A and B are shown apart, each in its own frame.
Chain A
Amino acid sequence: MGIGPSTKETSLHHFRDPLLEVVAEDTDLDLMGVMLVGSPDGNEDKMLVGTRAAVWAECMRADGVILSCDGWGNSHVDYTNTIEQIGIRGIPVTGITFNGTVAQFVVVNDYLDAIVDINKSESGEETDVVGENNMDRIDCLKAKALLKLKMRKKEQESR
């Protein structure tokens, strides 16, 4: 399993990505940049690259991370690990991915409390309809709002 037609992000999607716009336009936030991490085939590599992404976030002193995932199934193995690695480092993190009914996380951990499910099909399945289960602006606003909440909570706890 990997990326099905209904979730896959086309080149046009990346050109007009709602997630970037939602974060960039928010004057309460300082958008550091966009990090791209591949989803490799082997499990060992999945853990490696996701952990490197988390170390990057820590070394950049990110206050928060929104992690999106193109694909599901085995792509969620690295996805959930990356979220865990970011969470372990004390960085608030929220996510955007496809879960529906068929793509519940195959691996779970303690840091998956703020994941926005972009499923839009009635059945919650991979419908093979291009674009159907893509993230839209509302999904991105939700992930951003959740991140703001988590960052505020962390700030209050540290006082």
Chain B
Amino acid sequence: MADEVKDLRRLVIKAFHMNEVEWGDHNDITTDGHMTVSREMLDELVAAEEHIEKIDIQIIKPGDHDRWTNTMMDIVPISTKVLGKLGEGITHTITGVYVILTGVDVNGKQCHEFGSSEGNLKEQLYLNRAGTPGDNDYIISFDVTLAAGMGQERPGPTAAHRACDKFIQSYRDKLKKFKGEKCTERHEYHDIVRPGKKKVLIIKQVAGQGAMYDTHLFAKEPSGVEGGKSIIDMGNMPIIVSPNEYRDGIIRSMQ
């Protein structure tokens, strides 16, 4: 039985597609593909962060990219755990809309470490990559203005990510309650051992040098911030995660 494949655990990711994103009184999503976005949380989010001066949100329709953007700090899927911990159980995620976090300081200095992507969005964003929205996706632009100079100090970008995460959490809380059978896509992933086959390790060298050059791991929610740990604070030492933990959004990219 030496060659029998062993199935260690299962992760199910259920996607709910959003067909329409528009302004509304509150942040809301429904299983029939309707999303509303509100600015009602923004004052509270700004008040909670000493390094943040202002936050604005824009809804960007598919193709409507002929517009200014501040430098893109991250592109984030809206996903949440429904059952189990990261890497097993059930995760719900939204397709058709992604959040782009952008940042600048009050003096107009862009929030970046090495090269920045501010400018006309249609020229600064390459669509249809694994890490970028597709042609038909909506974008929610979450644009943070930091206090002077804070774009280059670790607490600045981290605060921007944290505020953005709280905004996303308002959708996660609703997404958690979606009935699984209403999903538009269902993906099942298994951590598998294949005895007798060549054992291959993937190593990913990730950012760990400082402000806008950081990687967070182990947040409570997929691609989340709350509860995450910075790889810088862990001495940049190698850490192993299971394939399912990785594909369940164990990394929040902060570079």
Chain A proximity of B201: nearest CB distance (Å): 4
A20 engages B114 (CB within 8 Å): no
Please report the C-alpha to C-alpha distance between residue A56 and residue B77 in the assembled complex, in whole angstroms. Answer: 31
Cβ contact of B253, chosen from A14, A18, A24, A148, cutoff 8 A: A14
Contacts A36-B231, A82-B205 hold; do A128 and B246 have CB atoms under 8 A apart?
no
**Chain B interface residue number, banded:** 35 or more
Contacts A53-B238, A128-B116 hold; do A134 and B130 have CB atoms under 8 A apart?
yes
A32 engages B203 (CB within 8 Å): no
Residues of A with C-beta under 8 A to B75: 10-13, 130
A39 within 8 A of B: yes
A37 engages B200 (CB within 8 Å): no
Cβ contact of A33, chosen from B132, B223, B234, B243, cutoff 8 A: B243
Chain B proximity of A107: nearest CB distance (Å): 14
Residues of A with C-beta under 8 A to B203: 34-37, 53, 57, 65-68, 82
Contacts A29-B194, A31-B200 hold; do A79 and B205 have CB atoms under 8 A apart?
yes
Interface mask (B227-255 → A, CB under 8 Å = 1, otherwise 0): 00001101111111111011101111101
> In A5-51, which residues have CB < 8 Å from any B CB?
5-6, 8-20, 23-24, 27-41, 45, 49-50
Cβ contact of A36, chosen from B132, B209, B217, cutoff 8 A: B217
A151 within 8 A of B: yes
Given contacts A14-B251, A38-B237, 10 further A-B contacts (CB under 8 A): A5-B115, A10-B253, A12-B223, A24-B243, A30-B198, A45-B236, A65-B203, A66-B200, A67-B203, A134-B130
Residues in B lying within 8 Å of A, measured CB to CB: 71-72, 74-77, 79, 93, 98, 112-117, 119, 123-127, 129-132, 189, 192-210, 213, 215, 217, 222-223, 231-232, 234-243, 245-247, 249-253, 255
Q: List 9 A-B contacts (CB under 8 A).
A: A5-B117, A17-B130, A17-B246, A31-B243, A38-B231, A40-B209, A41-B210, A68-B204, A151-B198
